[in-house]
């Protein structure tokens, strides 16, 4: 087959085939039962970098806690981040909050209704704007996410690196042509993303029962495992966190992370970051004032370790619990404050910290 000359034929078969497939195979998900742009926006942001099974309960909790965009706009940021705890990429939650405030205060609560107006909102990029515009308002604009890249690359045999600007233009142009043939843009966008999520999967795609099997270039040429082409990810960076957990009775000293780093505005303990693992407390080069607290305190438990893998970082942490006598309770390092167990439960925390607290003090 001359693939280039037959691409038009593939295009005409592709769209109706996916729409029919979607009618019978779509999952029953709560955000598919609404045209409310706020709910759709919330679901799309939660599902970025998050599997549906993990994201669904978060979506339901957010809708219960903040049923309207006005409720979200007036939410307490600490409570918002605590509710987001476990999803990671906390800038998503902060952008949600800021954009909800903007829509409520500057746009009189009226959600932008077009793709181009949505793009003006903080934290709403090309994909999310297209999803909201098509799902909520029926605008004929195509969504292109990881699932769509994979489906289009395989079916149409596109061997360009999807991380490059030129490839993104190629895929965007193809997606824009395809959606013109759709009977309903919202249904088609849902269909192609769903098809990539459960049929044309990254590993072991179900080619045997694929409705476009005989049009799929990757299937007909045995390139399912090769396509899409994507440059290798940057190597994961190792970081070594040494946490000193100062205790006094039932209180624990914690601090809010305010630097522009991972976990901004979340709470953890006194932290010393080192260039390599430091399994022994005596190996840490601490400031004199902190070292004095350690010397006068009591190492109450054996040091324990934990690890959390982020998108491009591997956090390897050691935890040292130091019991301080009452006379030193007022001499905490700058930024630390005492919190009771009940108060700590209400603080937004990284998963690494939340899991450690649950295991050690829960």
Q: What is the pLDDT of residues 203-228, one digit of tens each?
A: 999 999 999 999 999 999 999 999 99
Residue 226 lies in a domain: no
Helix (H) or strand (E) holding 264: none
Same domain for 208 and 244, yes or no, is no
Same domain for 329 and 190, yes or no, is no
The domain tally of the chain equals: 2
**Bridge partners (DSSP) listed for residue 320:** 244
Q: Which pLDDT does position 128 carry in this prediction?
A: 97
Contact between 157 and 227 under an 8 Å Cβ cutoff? The reply is yes
Q: Give the domain range for residue 73.
A: 4-221
Q: Which residues contact 63 (CB under 8 A, 6 or more apart)?
A: 30, 39, 42
Residue 176, token pair as written in the block: 């824009």
Give the model confidence (pLDDT) of 259-317 as tens digits. Answer: 889 999 999 999 999 999 888 888 899 999 999 999 999 988 888 999 999 888 999 99
Residue 94 lies in a domain: yes
Residue 231 lies in a domain: no
Residue 228 lies in a domain: no
Q: Of 221, 255, 286, which residue is a domain's last?
A: 221
Residue 280 lies in a domain: yes
pLDDT reading at 2 higher than 50: no
Give the model confidence (pLDDT) of 325-344 as tens digits. Answer: 999 999 999 999 999 999 99
Same domain for 166 and 309, yes or no, is no
CATH code assigned at 145: 1.10.340.30
Q: Is the dihedral of CA 288, 289, 295, 300 positive or negative?
A: negative
Same domain for 77 and 215, yes or no, is yes
CATH code assigned at 273: 3.90.79.10
Residue 227 lies in a domain: no
Residue 45: count of CB within 10 angstroms of its CB: 23
Q: For the chain, how are helix, strand and coil distributed in percent, rounded to 5?
A: 50, 15, 40
Tell how far CA 92 is from the center of its chain: 7
Single pTM value for the model? 0.85
Q: Which pLDDT does position 334 carry in this prediction?
A: 93
The catalytic residue positions are: 44
Give the model confidence (pLDDT) of 96-120 as tens digits. Answer: 999 999 999 999 999 999 999 999 9
Same domain for 283 and 190, yes or no, is no
Q: Which pLDDT does position 234 carry in this prediction?
A: 80
Same domain for 251 and 213, yes or no, is no
Q: Is the dihedral of CA 174, 177, 181, 182 positive or negative?
A: positive
pLDDT reading at 351 higher than 90: yes
For 48-59, what is the mean pLDDT?
93
Q: Which pLDDT does position 34 carry in this prediction?
A: 97
Q: Which pLDDT does position 3 carry in this prediction?
A: 47
Same domain for 151 and 20, yes or no, is yes
Contact between 2 and 160 under an 8 Å Cβ cutoff? The reply is no
The percentage of the chain sitting over the pLDDT mark of 70, rounded to a whole number, equals 98
Q: Given the DSSP bridges, would you call strands 237-248 and 270-274 parallel, antiparallel or unpaired?
A: antiparallel
Residue 82 lies in a domain: yes
pLDDT reading at 236 higher than 80: yes
Q: Which pLDDT does position 361 carry in this prediction?
A: 86
pLDDT-derived band at 5, boundaries 50, 70, 90: very low
Q: Which pLDDT does position 247 carry in this prediction?
A: 96
Give the model confidence (pLDDT) of 114-167 as tens digits. Answer: 999 999 999 999 999 999 999 999 999 999 999 999 999 999 999 999 999 999
Q: Of 171, 189, 221, which residue is a domain's last?
A: 221
Residue 178 lies in a domain: yes
pLDDT reading at 1 higher than 90: no
At 162, give phi and psi (nearest 5°). -70, -10
Contact between 212 and 15 under an 8 Å Cβ cutoff? The reply is no
Average pLDDT, the chain: 93
Q: Which pLDDT does position 305 carry in this prediction?
A: 93
């Amino acid at each position: 087959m001359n693939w280039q000359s037959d691409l038009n034929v593939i295009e005409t078969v592709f769209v109706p085939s996916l729409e029919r497939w979607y009618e019978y195979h779509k999952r029953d998900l709560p955000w598919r039962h609404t045209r409310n742009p706020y709910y759709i926006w919330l679901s799309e942001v939660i599902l970025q970098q998050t599997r549906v099974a993990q994201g669904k309960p978060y979506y339901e909790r957010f809708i219960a806690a903040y049923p309207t965009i006005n409720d979200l706009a007036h939410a307490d940021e600490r409570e918002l981040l605590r509710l987001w705890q476990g999803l990671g990429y906390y800038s998503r939650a902060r952008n949600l909050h800021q954009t909800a405030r903007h829509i409520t205060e500057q746009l009189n609560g009226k959600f932008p209704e077009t793709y181009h107006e949505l793009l003006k909102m903080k934290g709403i990029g090309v994909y999310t704007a297209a999803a909201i515009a098509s799902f909520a308002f029926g605008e004929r604009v195509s969504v292109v996410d990881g699932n769509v890249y994979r489906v289009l690359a395989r079916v149409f045999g596109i061997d360009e690196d999807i991380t490059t600007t030129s490839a993104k233009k190629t895929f965007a142009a193809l997606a824009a042509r395809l959606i013109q043939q759709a009977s309903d843009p919202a249904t088609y966008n849902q269909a192609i993303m769903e098809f990539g999520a459960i049929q044309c999967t990254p590993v072991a795609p179900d080619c045997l029962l694929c409705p476009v099997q005989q049009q799929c270039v990757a299937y007909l040429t045995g390139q399912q495992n090769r396509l899409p082409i994507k440059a290798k990810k940057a190597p994961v960076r190792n970081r070594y966190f040494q946490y000193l957990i100062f205790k006094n009775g039932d209180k624990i000293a914690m601090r809010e992370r305010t630097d522009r780093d991972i976990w901004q505005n979340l709470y953890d303990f006194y932290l010393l970051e080192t260039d390599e693992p430091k399994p022994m407390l005596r190996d840490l080069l601490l400031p004199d004032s902190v070292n004095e607290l350690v010397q006068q305190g009591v190492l109450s438990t054996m040091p324990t370790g934990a690890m959390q893998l982020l998108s491009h970082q591997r956090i390897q942490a050691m935890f040292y619990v130091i019991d301080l006598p009452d006379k030193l309770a007022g001499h905490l390092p700058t930024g630390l404050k005492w919190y009771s167990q009940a108060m700590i439960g209400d603080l937004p925390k990284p998963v690494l910290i939340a899991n450690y607290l649950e295991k050690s003090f829960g």
